């Protein structure tokens, strides 16, 4: 009863305390410790689990007993540590005191300065796949054909290419805004615009654009697409409102070009590039549509009448020229008579026999 017996296996370590004070480490073997007053305590721990967890770890570390048998790290508030056991990443250490046994398993601890808020590491993909990584890291991915605009404490830091990124928690307020860099279409639909001559048109326009400056696109305005939509509305109203209906309908290309110029200028200030702009539909009011149809019908009727009169005049002029030519040439007149008789003969059972001079005249008079 005066001795405490302790057995330490090959993978174990004994933490020897007397009267609450740490004394030393006990390695493999059997021990008989004199303890008449029950003041001896030996906590046997296994090195198969490298992390040393003990309520008096600071006392044990301060004694120097762990110098050759364990890896000790005391992390400041701005430090974090990456732990690798047997060549495999296991977890991230927060600020504080930690110790790992090194005698049974290979332990590697990499201390990181977390004031560099973004974690850049050759094994980043392995680190973020750890089930414990999200406890210490904010992890985000930037998709293909996108970029990420990175901010820390509200200040712009950098623009990130597609890929996976990690930022230390509780160091700075980190935020990544993902921006789509692909070409996009903006449909400006259902705009009711009054022309200079007080005709209300309903118009649809299409603006195709892409983002060329991601930082400007997310910092100049709270929504680049919505801002471009509003600018397109105002530009279309400004261009159409200065023209009357006739000039608008007869020169749509000029309207489109002026509209595109105004939208392109404002888009550049938002970090956007306009690829193309077009007025897709122009819808007239019902009564104006009927009136325009009547005007168009009247114009076409007038054009048709003019063409008919022109052709009639040409025909009469041709007949007058023919009559003059026949009057001046009796032989030609004779041939003409024969042609007429031939056409008459072909229309029925009429046989004509021509003989002496003047017989044709008598036959024509007879007919």
Residue 354 lies in a domain: yes
Task: Please answer whether residues 185 and 201 qualify as being in contact, where contact means their C-beta atoms are separated by less than 8 angstroms.
Answer: no
> Helix 224-241 vs helix 252-269: angle between axes, to the nearest 10 degrees?
150
Residue 243 lies in a domain: yes
Position with higher pLDDT, 336 vs 306: 306
Which of 224, 255, 283 is a domain's end point? 283
Structural domains of the chain, count: 2
Residue with tokens 């002496």: 356
Looking at the DSSP bridge assignments, the partners of residue 192 are: 202
Q: How far is CA 205 from the centre of its chain?
A: 20
Which of 283, 304, 323 is a domain's end point? 283
Same domain? 279 vs 320: no
Name the nearest CA neighbour of 145 among 182, 186, 91.
Answer: 182
79-114 pLDDT, tens digit each: 999 999 999 999 999 999 999 999 899 999 999 999
Residue 69 lies in a domain: no
Look at the alpha carbons of 277, 278, 280, 283 in this order and tell me if their dihedral is positive or negative. positive
Looking at the DSSP bridge assignments, the partners of residue 158 are: 150
Same domain? 247 vs 215: yes
Domain housing 211: 184-283
DSSP codes joined into one string, 190-253: EEEEE-TTS-EEEEEEEEEEEES-HHHHHHSSS-HHHHHHHHHHHHHHHHHHTS-HHHHHH-HH
238-269 pLDDT, tens digit each: 888 888 877 777 788 888 888 888 899 889 98
pLDDT for 348 equals 59
Q: What is the dihedral of CA 239, 240, 242, 247, to 10 degrees?
A: 120
290 pLDDT more than 70: no
∠210-213-216 over CA atoms, to 5°?
Answer: 115
Q: How confident is the prediction for the chain on average, in pLDDT?
A: 85
Which of 268, 283, 298 is a domain's end point? 283
pLDDT for 175 equals 93
Residue 250 lies in a domain: yes
Quick one: the chain helix, strand, coil %, rounded to 5?
Answer: 35, 35, 30
């Amino acid at each position: 009863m005066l001795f405490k017996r302790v057995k330490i296996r090959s993978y174990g370590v004994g933490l020897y305390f007397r009267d609450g004070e740490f004394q030393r480490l006990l390695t493999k073997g059997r021990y008989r410790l004199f303890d008449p007053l029950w003041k001896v305590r030996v906590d046997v721990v296994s090195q198969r689990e490298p992390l040393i967890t003990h309520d008096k770890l600071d006392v044990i570390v301060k004694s120097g007993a762990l110098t050759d048998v364990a890896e000790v790290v005391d992390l400041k508030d701005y430090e974090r540590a990456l732990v690798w056991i047997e060549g495999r990443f296991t977890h991230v250490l927060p600020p504080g005191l930690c110790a790992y046994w090194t005698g049974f398993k290979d332990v590697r601890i990499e201390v990181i300065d977390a004031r560099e808020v973004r974690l850049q590491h050759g094994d980043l993909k392995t680190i973020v796949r750890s089930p414990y990584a999200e406890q210490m890291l904010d992890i985000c991915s930037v998709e293909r054909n996108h970029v990420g605009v990175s901010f820390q404490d509200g200040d712009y830091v950098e623009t990130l290419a597609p890929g996976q990124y990690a930022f230390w928690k509780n160091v700075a307020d980190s935020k990544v805004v993902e921006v789509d860099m692909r070409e996009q279409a903006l449909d400006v639909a259902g705009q009711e615009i009054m022309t200079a001559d007080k005709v209300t048109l309903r118009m649809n326009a299409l603006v195709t654009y892409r983002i060329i400056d991601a930082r400007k696109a997310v910092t100049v305005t709270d929504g680049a697409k919505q801002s471009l939509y509003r600018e397109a509305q105002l530009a279309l109203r400004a261009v159409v409102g200065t023209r009357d209906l006739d000039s608008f309908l007869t020169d749509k290309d000029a309207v489109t070009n002026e509209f595109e110029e105004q939208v392109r200028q404002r888009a550049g200030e938002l970090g956007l590039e306009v690829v193309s702009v077009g007025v897709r539909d122009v819808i007239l009011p019902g009564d104006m549509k009927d009136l325009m149809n009547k005007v168009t019908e009247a114009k076409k009727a007038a054009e048709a009448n003019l063409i008919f009169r022109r052709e009639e005049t040409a025909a009469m002029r041709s007949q007058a020229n023919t009559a003059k030519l026949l009057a001046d040439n009796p032989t030609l007149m004779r041939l003409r008579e024969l042609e007429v008789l031939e056409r008459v003969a072909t229309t029925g059972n009429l046989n004509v026999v021509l003989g002496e001079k003047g017989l044709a005249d008598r036959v024509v008079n007879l007919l």
